[in-house]
Amino acid sequence: MFELKGKIALVTGAGQNVGAGVARTLASQGAHVLVNDIVADRAGEVADAIARAGHAAEPLPFDVTDGDAARAAIADWPIDILVNNAGNAGAETMEVKPFAQTDPDEWAGPIEVNLYGVMYCTHAVLPGMIERGWGRVIGVVSGAGTVGVNIGVAAYSAGKGGAAGLLRSVALEVAQTGVTVNSIALGLMSNTGDTGVTAQLERTIPTRRLGTPDDVAALCAYLASEEASWMTAQTIPLAGGSITS
């Protein structure tokens, strides 16, 4: 089950953590994985490690917030599976503070990477998927985009919520073409640095543990598979029980 042999998968922001885990798993299920990251060295290292493990991968570095760059990089590949994973604060670090204390100049960064990045990449792959009659688009979004969170990341919430809404509507537009579109609303992951609230938040997770790249990768492998052809237009919480639907 969930075999991806013969499929070409693009995972954005796959140079580390969640994206790297997703890339490894899709490759081990048989996909030829294009490892994207804005940091070319990271993409190269992850692709090399996958290839050393005996699976098919190569780096495809570009900035997902640069629509022309995304279109140009994707044009050469008949992509079957797109995992929109690049996110967080993009190439920056996330400055955590209440929305009232933010400057409007600070909003574009998280919205560019978490919403526009998803729009550019999805827009670039969809026509080919529709033409070939098969495709899987997956968004790695966040509980911060589907429920309110009081942790000082409101612009990020806007970007993630925007991406989740975008993908649900796109899913319905393409539902009769063999292309499915879903999002994963992640809870707090173990690779998140100590934001001061991480330990406190971990205690509120019903399973009492943070998420791992393998947790996300397993759901991506399912969503990318033939077996998931009836699963579309969903925003699926993956959060150790901390988000209920």
Ligand X SMILES: NC(=O)c1ccc[n+]([C@@H]2O[C@H](COP(=O)([O-])OP(=O)(O)OC[C@H]3O[C@@H](n4cnc5c(N)ncnc54)[C@H](O)[C@@H]3O)[C@@H](O)[C@H]2O)c1
Which residues have a catalytic role annotated?
Answer: 156
Contact 67, 93 (CB under 8 A): no
Taking the complex as a whole, the smallest distance from the CB of residue 17 to ligand X amounts, in Å, to 3
Contact residue for ligand X among 117, 152, 162, 240 (CB under 6 A): 117
Burial class (CB in 10 A: 0-12, 13-18, 19+), 198: middle
Residue 191 in the binding site for ligand X (CB under 6 A)? yes
Site string for ligand X, 35-64 (x = CB under 6 A): -xxxx--x--------------------xx
Q: Any idea what the Cα angle at residue 225 is, between residues 63 and 42, rounded to 5°?
A: 30
Helix 17-28, helix 40-52: angle, nearest 10: 30
Residue 87 in the binding site for ligand X (CB under 6 A)? yes
Q: Cα 185 to the chain's mean position, in Å? A: 10
What b/e sequence results for 90-109 when a residue is b if at least 16 CB atoms lie within 10 Å of its CB, and e otherwise? beeebeeeeeeeeeeeebeb
Where does this chain touch ligand X (CB under 6 A) — which range of 83-91, 100-108, 123-131, 227-235?
83-91
Residue 181 in the binding site for ligand X (CB under 6 A)? no
Instruction: Of 169, 189, 80, give the one whose Cα is nearest residue 125.
Output: 80
Taking the complex as a whole, the smallest distance from the CB of residue 97 to ligand X amounts, in Å, to 17
Instruction: Give the total of residues touching ligand X (CB under 6 A).
Output: 30
Where does this chain touch ligand X (CB under 6 A) — which range of 82-90, 122-130, 171-179, 201-209?
82-90
Contact residue for ligand X among 4, 7, 11, 15 (CB under 6 A): 15
Q: Cα 143 to the chain's mean position, in Å? A: 13
Contact residue for ligand X among 25, 29, 65, 242 (CB under 6 A): 65
